[in-house]
Amino acid sequence: MDFDKTANELDQNPFTFHGSYVRAVDAKGRFNLPFRFRQGGSGPAEEKYVVSTGADGSMALLPYSVWINNFNRMRQGEPGPELRRNLRRMSRSSTVVEPDSQGRVAISPETLGRVGITGKIVVVGMVSYMELWDPETLEKMEAGAEDPQAGFMDEFYR
């Protein structure tokens, strides 16, 4: 993996999400977005996100501009049925959400239920996006995971 190239590309992203937060989810699928993850905290910027299918059994929550850039980048792939199928899947699973005046985002209970999220949600910062997890699912997945490989840790902390 070309770590320098990846780091340089990520420097172009104005959002940096890191950390993990547990939030309550109400019956309407609303939860408070962690304050540190809010885009609008530094001024009158439009605060809009896209929730879509995530990796490893999670949902993903991305700033709208990041989601659009990622979608358009993926459109540059080899034309054909596989590309259309993948783009269709991402498009069909995506919804634009905007925090209300109390900082809550609303994701339909049906959408959250697809990944097992009901009463609690874990919001994990992943630099350019957030993962949304059912706490038990995330804990089970992490319980069997090994620590990061030494090479990864060495490169991360260089």
| pLDDT the model gives residue 8 | 47
| pLDDT the model gives residue 154 | 84
| pLDDT the model gives residue 12 | 53
Distance CA 55, CA 126 (A): 12
| pLDDT the model gives residue 69 | 92
| pLDDT the model gives residue 149 | 79
Lowest-confidence range among 62-71, 80-89, 136-145, 146-155? Answer: 146-155
Structure tokens at 101: 């005046």
| pLDDT the model gives residue 45 | 52
| pLDDT the model gives residue 63 | 93
- Mean pLDDT, the chain, integer: 85
Residue 131 belongs to domain spanning: 3-145
Q: What is the mean pLDDT of residues 4-30?
A: 75
Residue 48 within any structural domain of the chain: yes
Report the predicted TM-score, pTM, of the whole model to 2 decimal places: 0.82
Give 88's Cβ-side CA count (13 Å radius). 6
> How many percent of the chain have pLDDT more than 90?
62
Residue 113 within any structural domain of the chain: yes
Structure tokens at 91: 């498009």
CATH of the domain at 101: 3.40.1550.20
Structure tokens at 8: 């340089």
Residue 156 within any structural domain of the chain: no
Please give the tally of structural domains in the chain: 1
Q: Which is more confident, 134 or 4?
A: 134
Could you give the C-alpha distances from 142 to 7, 9, 77, in angstroms and in order?
25, 28, 32
| pLDDT the model gives residue 7 | 46
Distance CA 30, CA 23 (A): 10
Q: Which is more confident, 106 or 36?
A: 106
Could you give the C-alpha distances from 49 to 67, 96, 110, 155, in angstroms and in order?
8, 6, 18, 31
Residue 96 within any structural domain of the chain: yes
Residue 152 within any structural domain of the chain: no
| pLDDT the model gives residue 51 | 96
